A = this chain, B = another copy of it.
Amino acid sequence: MRATVIHGPHDIRLEQVPDPVIQEPTDAVIRTVAACVCGSDLWRYRGVAPVKRPARIGHEYVGVVESVGDAVTTVRPGQFVVGPFYSCDGTCPHCHAGFSSVCDHLDWYDGCQADAIRIPQADGTLVALDERPDDALVPSVLALSDVMGTGWHAAEMAAVRPGMTVVVVGDGAVGLCGVIAAKVKGAERIIVISRNAPRQALARELGATDIVAERGQTGVERVRELTGGIGADAVLECVGTADSIKDALDHARPGAMVGFVGVPHDSDPSIATMFARNVGLRGGMAPVRNYLPELLPLVLDGSIDPGRVFDLTLPLDQVAEAYAAMDERRAIKVLLRP
C-alpha cells in the first residue's frame, strides 16, 4: 500500500510499504477513507522537531474496518469508524474519568496518511458509525479525530457557559473549531484574535462576533475595550507559544479560566507540566469578602472551628514576641488581644 514518509525538513514522500496486519488480538486494520495534515505534523516538516530517520506520519483518519483481532468486540469489518489521534485502552481510571489522552496505555499510530492503518486497542479507541456517512459529511467526521475535539477541549477546560464572552486566541483549524465549540456551548460573544482576512471571514461564518487583529498589549487593550473594561469570561488558547499564553491570561477577567490546547513550545516549565498531565491550576489572592456570608454561619453554629490554628494568644503589647514565635516556628499563628 501507499504511505506518507517524512525523510527530513521539507521532504515528504508517498512510498510503497507493506500492508498493515493484525499484530495483537486487540488490533484492527482499517482502510482509510480520508486523512489529513495536522499543524503539529509541520514541526518536523519545518525542522523544528528533528527527523532522525525516515518515519511514517499522520494521526487523523476515518475509514472502514477491514479486519479485527480475536479480542476485538466493539467493531467489525465493514463498519465506518473514526478514532482520536491516539490509541487508548478505554478501561483505565483516566479513560473512565474523561481523560483518555493521559491513558495508562496511551499508544500512537504508525502513520495515518496512508491507504490503510493498524489501530491498536481497537475497542478502546474506535467509534463505529451506524452507517457510512454521506460523503459531504466525511470532512466533519474526520475533523473529530483531532481539531474539533481539541477546540472542544479548550472550551471545556475554559468552562464556557451560555451567555459568556469568549476570546479565542488563534485562527488555525483548532482555533476555528474552538469558535464552533464556544457557539455550541452558548457563548453570546466570541472574539477571535486573527490578522488573516480569509480566516477572519471563516471565523465569522462559524460564529465569531468580533475580530481583534492586534496581539500583545495592544490586543489585550482592544479586548478590554470590547468587554467594558472587564475582560473575557473564558479564553481558549489555541496556539501554544509563550506570547500567546501570556496574551490569553491577560484577556481573561479575574476568576476566569483559560483553556489551553496549543502544545506549549517556549513557555515556562510549569506550563509544560500542566499540559503534559492535563492538570489545571487556578488561584490567587482569596476573595475573602465574598466568602464571609457563607463561612460566618458555619463558625457561629460550630460547624467549623478555624480558630484552632491559633496556638498562641498574646496581649498586643507582646506583639514582638508574637512575630518571634512564628518566625521560629514555635507557633502556627498568634492571636493578639488589645
Contact = CB atoms under 8 A, between A and B. Distances in A.
Nearest to A258: B281
Nearest to A206: B308
A36 B273 contact: no
Contacts of A333: 36-39, 147, 172-173
B253 A144 contact: no
Contacts of A124: 289
A73 interface: no
Contact of A320 (B12, B329, B336): B12
Interface stretch (A18-26, A131-139, A208-216): A131-139
A170 to B, nearest CB: 11
A202 interface: yes
Nearest to A144: B295
A272 to B, nearest CB: 10
Contacts of A82: 292, 296
B152 A99 contact: no
B97 A254 contact: yes
Contacts of A113: 316, 319, 336
Contact of A260 (B94, B228, B281, B299): B281
Contact of A95 (B13, B278, B289): B289
Contacts of A332: 172-173, 176, 199, 202
A141 interface: yes
Contacts of A98: 255, 287, 290
Q: Which 4 A-B pairs have the closest CB atoms?
A: A139-B307, A280-B282, A268-B268, A149-B288
